[in-house]
């Protein structure tokens, strides 16, 4: 069967994974080798020079990782993919591939704290400048473009406020000015959104999250044109030592087989939770693109095939109320990660986005009362019951203050 005609759930299982020709094993082998032997010196030199296909050193990949990279590339409809050691390795590697000393990057205003920290602390040390723009406003983005701007970096839905950005229109604008568009697709995965099809040049993922889906791997991916990916493999990932390892690659290959099942359940449960929270008296504001009240709801329906498993919301009463609520949870766990089978909650202002100065957090809508909830795979009724018992004391406080 032509793999190009496979639907996503079939492709997740079969793409890039053939039974072993020698043993017939259905599951991909874990190849942890560092060194690879050659028949002669000429063959080794040809592989190193890129004149011949092959692997010559484990820091640049291995057969297990190659199988995973091939699958990720197909899922994102990219020419090639690069597996790296973390989501931040993917973000930093992609940015460094297109930026050098004296260059400028425009970044979406509402962005993951790790991305913000890299762009504001490490990138300037190498002469790279950044401006954060409201990327829901094309005029604001165009106004931020400078003669030395080289990259437009987007995250949609954003972390943690789930702002939806129009990838197609932003890519058209960026390309008209000669910019490279990089999109963090971690929250959606290729199951729910394909930025390259919408005009983006490069996609990055924290595979630590939904792609692996089991909370036991730290990894990242970069997807794009073959030439760009090869440059990153040889001159960024390889030189900086950001390589993925074979065991983690194997675990992600295994996790991907259930991505469709997991994402459908994450989405279904998250929507029920969002509707419950939207009607709750202790909730000040709810951020979920599946709700008609979300400012980019219609764009989300056009651009995404599902609304994801993250629900962010602001409790009434600020930081103290937020922390009291989190501490009262019994099923949901306090954690920095997301996309796991377990429901995870965190307080962005003091956890994932603490590196952003308080005045800027406020401008980015990351208030002291904001909570980010990663919907797990538990029975949604149990999740809602846990939220209900943790919110109950806040209702009394709200009534007393009214």
For the segment 64-115, what is each residue's pLDDT rounded down to a tens digit? 999 999 999 999 999 999 999 999 999 999 999 999 999 999 999 989 989 9
Tell me the pLDDT tens digit for each residue of 234-266: 999 999 999 999 999 999 999 999 999 999 999
**Residue 59 known to be catalytic:** yes
Q: Which of 94, 84, 105, 213 is nearest to 149 (CA)?
A: 105
Which whole number is the average pLDDT over 331-353? Answer: 93
User: Is residue 4 predicted with pLDDT exceeding 90?
Assistant: no
Which whole number is the average pLDDT over 304-308? Answer: 98
Which whole number is the average pLDDT over 121-146? Answer: 97
Which whole number is the average pLDDT over 302-315? Answer: 98
**Residue 184 known to be catalytic:** yes
- The radius of gyration of the chain from alpha carbons, rounded to an integer in Å, stands at 22
Of 16-30, 37-51, 194-208, 218-232, the poorest mean pLDDT is in: 16-30
Distance between CA atoms of residues 167 and 156, nearest Å = 8
Distance between CA atoms of residues 219 and 256, nearest Å = 13
**Distance, first Cα to last Cα, the chain:** 65
402 confidence band (pLDDT: 50, 70, 90): low
Tell me the pLDDT tens digit for each residue of 263-285: 999 999 999 999 999 999 999 99
Of 71, 109, 112, 386, the active-site residue reads 112
Q: How far is CA 151 from CA 113, 133, 135, 155, in A?
A: 19, 13, 13, 13
1 confidence band (pLDDT: 50, 70, 90): very low
What is 241-275 written as a DSSP string?
Answer: T-B--HHHHHHHHHHHTTHHHHHHHHHHHHHHHHH
Determine how β-strand 370-374 pairs with β-strand 344-346. Answer: antiparallel
400 confidence band (pLDDT: 50, 70, 90): low
User: Is residue 384 predicted with pLDDT exceeding 80?
Assistant: yes
**Residue 9 known to be catalytic:** no
- State residue 158's pLDDT score: 96
Domains of the chain: 3-30+61-254 (3.40.640.10), 259-401 (3.90.1150.10)
User: Is residue 296 predicted with pLDDT exceeding 70?
Assistant: yes
- State residue 360's pLDDT score: 79
Which whole number is the average pLDDT over 22-36? Answer: 90
The residue length of the chain stands at: 402
Of 71, 150, 209, 372, the active-site residue reads 209
Cβ contacts of residue 190 below 8 Å, gap of 6+?
8, 72, 75, 76, 77
| pLDDT, mean over the chain | 94
**Residue 40 known to be catalytic:** no
Distance between CA atoms of residues 246 and 236, nearest Å = 19
The two tokens of residue 291 are: 């709700």
Which helix (H) or strand (E) element contains residue 151? strand 149-155
Which whole number is the average pLDDT over 177-184? Answer: 98
- State residue 79's pLDDT score: 98
Distance between CA atoms of residues 345 and 250, nearest Å = 28
- State residue 353's pLDDT score: 83
Measured from the Cβ of residue 32, the count of other Cβ atoms closer than 10 Å reads 12
Distance between CA atoms of residues 123 and 25, nearest Å = 45
Tell whether pTM > 0.85: yes
């Amino acid at each position: 069967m032509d793999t190009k005609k496979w639907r996503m759930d079939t492709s997740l299982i079969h793409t890039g994974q053939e039974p072993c020709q020698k043993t017939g094993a259905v599951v991909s082998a874990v190849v942890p080798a560092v060194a690879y032997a050659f028949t002669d010196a000429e063959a080794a030199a040809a592989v190193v020079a890129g004149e011949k296909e092959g692997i010559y050193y484990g820091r640049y990949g291995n057969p297990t990782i190659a199988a995973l990279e091939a699958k990720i590339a197909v899922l994102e409809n990219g020419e090639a993919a690069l597996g790296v050691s973390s989501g931040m390795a993917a973000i930093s590697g992609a940015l460094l591939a297109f930026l050098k000393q004296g260059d400028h990057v425009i970044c979406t205003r509402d962005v993951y704290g790790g991305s913000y920290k890299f762009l504001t602390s490490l990138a300037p040390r190498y002469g790279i400048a950044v401006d954060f723009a409201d990327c829901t406003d094309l005029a604001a983005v165009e106004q931020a473009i400078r003669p030395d701007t080289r990259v437009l970096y987007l995250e949609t839905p954003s972390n943690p406020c789930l702002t939806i950005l129009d990838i197609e229109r932003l890519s058209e604008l960026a390309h008209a000015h000669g910019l490279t568009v990089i999109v963090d697709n971690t929250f959606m995965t290729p199951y729910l959104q394909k930025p390259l099809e919408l005009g983006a040049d490069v996609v990055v993922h924290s595979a630590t999250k939904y792609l692996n889906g089991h909370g036991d791997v730290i990894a990242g991916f970069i997807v794009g044109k073959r030439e760009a990916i090869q440059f990153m493999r040889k001159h960024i990932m390889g030189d900086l030592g950001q390589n993925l390892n074979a065991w983690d690659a194997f675990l992600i290959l295994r996790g991907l087989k259930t991505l469709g099942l997991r994402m459908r359940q994450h989405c279904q449960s998250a929507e029920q939770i969002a509707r419950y929270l939207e009607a709750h008296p202790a909730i000040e504001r709810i951020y979920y693109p599946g709700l008609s009240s979300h400012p980019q709801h219609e764009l989300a329906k056009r651009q995404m095939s599902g609304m994801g498993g993250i629900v962010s919301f602001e409790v009434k009463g600020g930081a103290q109320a937020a922390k009291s609520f989190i501490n009262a949870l019994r099923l949901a766990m306090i954690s920095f990660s997301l996309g796991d089978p377990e429901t995870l909650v965190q307080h962005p202002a003091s956890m994932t986005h603490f590196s952003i100065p308080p005045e800027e957090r406020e401008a980015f809508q990351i208030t002291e009362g904001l909570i980010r909830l990663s919907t797990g795979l538990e029975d949604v009724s149990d999740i809602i019951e846990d939220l209900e018992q943790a919110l109950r004391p806040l209702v009394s406080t709200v009534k007393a203050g009214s």
